[in-house]
Amino acid sequence: MGGLTHEKLLLDPRRGVDRVPAASYKVRFIRVALWLLTSFFTGAIIMSLELVAFRLYAPYFGYSIYVWGSMISVVMAALAIGYAIGGWGADRSQTSLSLYITLLGSALYQLAILFVVRSMLPGFARMGDFTGTVLASLVIFGPPLTAMATACPFIIRLLAQSGHIGSVAGKVYAFSTIGSIAGTLATSFWLVPLLGTQKTLEVICALSAVIAVAGIAFRAPAALVLLAMIVAALKFVPATTWSHSTVWVQESPYNLVRVVRDGQRLLLKLNDEGGVHTIRNELAGWTGNYYDDFALGPLLAPAQRLLVLGMAGGGSIRSTRITAPDINIDAVEIDPRVVEAATLFFGMNPDDKLLHIHVADARPWLARNESKYDIVHVDLYQGGPYIPFYLVTVEFFSAVRAHMSADGVLMMNLFDVSKDQELLLSAAATLKRVFPAVAVLPIGRGNRMLLAFSHVMPEASIRARLEGYEGNAFVMRMAASAAARISQVDPSAGTIVFTDDFAPVEYMTRRMLNSGRFR
């Protein structure tokens, strides 16, 4: 064996792996470390791409479990194919070079996609939330994810030198999983919130190039030039552009937040291009949309304290103050960027002594707070037409009622344009499980205002309170119109009641959105 001092192998040559003199322990350590780091970073990149994909799609496909599920299915298919290809390639390769060339191909593909992705997505969006999401994922993320997935089986083959296949596989997948955790946390808590979606994609592309070139440069140092070229090319990636009407845009852990000007109006849009979460008419004040109808709340209940769950830009607050200018308000909004937009563009003054803004999720906030309110606004759409399921259940409404005064009213906007109104009826049936009186006020354009009272409130009494208002002329006309249209609801016995255990809200919403009436 002494005659093989300079030809002794780092790994068993019969297993078809890299040849390195045994004396080069430093080289051996670096190479094994590189392989393990490769499994770590490919795991991180896979999870980062998966998370960023959901954010990238939001303005085009919306923010629903259907988009998430369709995208994840493609990701898992890409990983399955990548694992198979990686194992096949490892058995036929003499070195790790082919692995790192594959990873370089992933980086180059990501770079190319960065130049065209924004122009591709509108076309995919027209195909629907399932077909469009699947095809977009196949084209945009399928190839780079498949390439990244080849790493683990390839590295297991490279490290399987002593027959301890099980321990080697466990070590490699442990490093990959730890990398996935790191990628998930870094993307969720730092990259997307601080850099935004596009810059995060650029960081992922650069990291992919670094790992690939590091493996190639171990054999050919000149490959470092490739890394420099890729990094230089990233500087020419076109910046994300929005229409000239967009006056402000920010990304948060929850939403892509945009403020858009439409003539005399400012619109707050979260994620979905088609959805509007607040309208502010800078001249007229009134919007002509359901936000105006929140001014009716003080006509139906005492107006000392108001709780707003889902403040957005504060449209319901502005309307309420027309009929109750001195009402004390607690407003809960989960997204700090939305609060920032509300204060900068929609007149929500942080120094207002009657307005107390809480950055929190509505339901945990209710669990921590013990105050009582005369009026409660519930307007909790999730960056599009979808209501988070846990905010429209018996348990949620029970928590809300526990914070209401004996004469209080809950006002909830609900969007349903389906023919059978199953979403509306289920929401009403759920409210009926908690409140003694529930009424519905059609507003138009598919919106309904659901009213739930803490006490028995006959329909005639609701009408009388609306018709008896004297004050603002616009509100008087709106109240008279509402009195003629309002009716109490009595859903049939078979209507689904939403609970924390079973609340098919997204299923109903998707059926409604896919109906011909919506188009």
How many C-beta atoms surround the C-beta of residue 468 within 10 A? 10
Q: How far is the C-alpha of 64 from the C-alpha of 514, rounded, in Å?
A: 14
The pLDDT confidence band at residue 383, using thresholds 50, 70 and 90, is low
Mean pLDDT of all residues in 125-133: 91
Q: Is residue 201 part of a domain?
A: yes
Q: Rounded mean pLDDT of 321-341?
A: 96
Q: Which of 245-259, 291-305, 382-396, 419-433 has the lowest average pLDDT?
A: 382-396
Domain co-membership, 411 together with 485: yes
Q: In terms of domains, do 307 and 205 share one?
A: no
State residue 120's pLDDT score. 95
Q: Name which of 163-167, 323-327, 433-437 the model is least confident about.
A: 163-167
Integer Cα distance of 60 and 91 in angstroms: 42
- In the predicted model, is pLDDT for residue 159 greater than 70? yes
Domain at 393, CATH number: 3.40.50.150
Based on the number of CB atoms within 10 Å of its own CB, is 268 exposed (0-12), middle (13-18) or buried (19 or more)? buried
Q: Which residues contact 338 (CB under 8 A, 6 or more apart)?
A: 252, 254, 255, 257, 268, 270, 277, 311, 312, 313
Amino acid 191: pLDDT: 94
* Three-state DSSP class for residue 490: coil
pLDDT for the residue numbered 516: 52
Pair (226, 323) in one structural domain:
no
Q: Does residue 268 lie within any of the structural domains?
A: no
Contacts of 98 (CB under 8 A, 6+ apart): 89
Band (369; pLDDT cuts 50, 70, 90): very high
Over 60: is that where the pLDDT of 6 sits? no
Tens digit of pLDDT for each residue in 439-486? Answer: 999 987 788 999 999 999 999 999 999 999 999 999 999 999 999 999
Residue 15 has pLDDT above 80, yes or no: no
206 and 318 in a single domain? The answer is no
For the cut 90, the answer to whether the pLDDT of residue 374 exceeds it is yes
Token couple for 296: 């009716």
* Same domain assignment for residues 218 and 295: no
pLDDT of 85 higher than 50:
yes
Neighbours of 390 (CB within 10 A): 17
Helices (H), 235-371: 297-300, 315-323, 336-345, 362-368
Whether residue 259 lies inside any domain: the answer is no
Is residue 265, in this structure, part of any structural domain at all? no
292 and 207 fall within a common domain: no
Domain final residue, candidates 234, 252, 276: 234
Q: Which long-range contacts (CB under 8 A, 24 or more apart) does 469-474 make?
A: 469/299, 469/323, 471/323, 472/295, 472/322, 472/323, 474/286, 474/322
Instruction: With H, G, I as helix, E, B as strand and everything else as coil, classify residue 195.
Output: helix
Whether 314 and 460 share a structural domain? yes
Burial of 161 (0-12, 13-18, 19+ CB in 10 A): middle
CA distance 481 to 467: 9
pLDDT attached to residue 13: 40
CA distance 128 to 316: 32
State the Cα angle at 176 between 173 and 178, rounded to 5°: 110
Mean of pLDDT values over 34-51: 97
Residue-level length of the chain: 519
Domain total in the chain? 2
Given 3-state DSSP classes, what are the helix, strand and coil percentages for the chain, each rounded to the nearest 5?
55, 15, 30
Q: What DSSP string describes 382-418? A: -SSSPPPGGGSSHHHHHHHHTTEEEEEEEEEEEE---
Identity of residue 378: V
**Dist. CA 263–CA 285, nearest whole Å:** 14
User: How far apart are the C-alpha atoms of 426 and 478, rounded to whole Å?
Assistant: 27
Number of H helices, E strands in the chain: 19, 12
The answer to the question of residue 166 being in a domain is yes
Reported as a single tens digit per residue, the pLDDT across 217-233 is 988 888 899 999 999 99
Q: What is the share, in percent, of the chain residues with pLDDT greater than 90?
A: 72
DSSP lists the bridge partners of residue 404 as 373
Give 22's contacts (C-beta < 8 A, 6+ positions apart).
5, 8, 9, 10, 28
Mean pLDDT across 151-163: 85
Quick check: 24 pLDDT over 80?
Answer: no
Parent domain of 298: 287-513
14: pLDDT strictly greater than 70: no
What is the CATH classification number for the domain harbouring 199? 1.20.1250
Give 10's pLDDT tier (boundaries 50, 70, 90).
very low
Lowest mean pLDDT among 284-288, 388-392, 398-402, 469-473: 284-288
**DSSP string across 328-368:** EEEEEES-HHHHHHHHHHS---TT-TTEEEEES-HHHHHHH
Structure token digits, residue 20:
């390195």
Tell whether 240 is covered by a domain: no
Is the pLDDT confidence value at 29 over 80? yes
**What is the band of 161 on the pLDDT scale with cuts at 50, 70, 90?**
low
- CB-side exposure of 275: number of CA atoms within 13 Å? 25
More confident residue, 121 or 30: 121
353's CB contacts (< 8 A; 6+ apart) are none
Q: Residue 375, SS3? A: strand
Same-domain pairing of 213 and 66: yes
pLDDT digits (tens, 9 = 90+) for 240-270: 888 889 999 999 888 899 999 998 899 999 9
DSSP-H helix ranges across 92-219: 97-125, 131-140, 142-149, 151-159, 165-186, 192-195, 197-217
- pLDDT score of 16: 42
88 found inside a domain: yes
- The pLDDT value recorded for residue 94 is 77
Predicted confidence at residue 11, as pLDDT, reads 44
Same domain? For 162 and 21 the reply is yes
Strand order in the sheet with 256-262: 246-251, 256-262, 265-270, 278-281
Look-up: residue for tokens 């988070």? 388
CA 518 to chain centre: 23
Same domain? 196 vs 298: no
69/64 Cα distance (integer angstroms): 9
Sign for the pseudo-dihedral over CA of 53, 507, 438, 474: positive
291 & 229 share domain: no
Residues near 326 by Cβ (< 8 Å), separated by ≥ 6? Answer: 354
Average pLDDT over residues 342-369: 94
d(CA 35, CA 90): 13
* 52 & 143 share domain: yes
- pLDDT-derived band at 30 (thresholds 50, 70, 90) equals confident
Which of 234, 261, 279 lies at the terminal end of a domain, its last residue?
234
At residue 162, the pLDDT reads 56
Q: Output the pLDDT for position 165.
A: 82
* In a domain? residue 103: yes
pLDDT confidence band for 147 (50 / 70 / 90): very high
The better pLDDT of the pair 8, 105 is held by 105
Contact 450, 440 (CB under 8 A): yes
| Averaged confidence pLDDT in the chain | 90
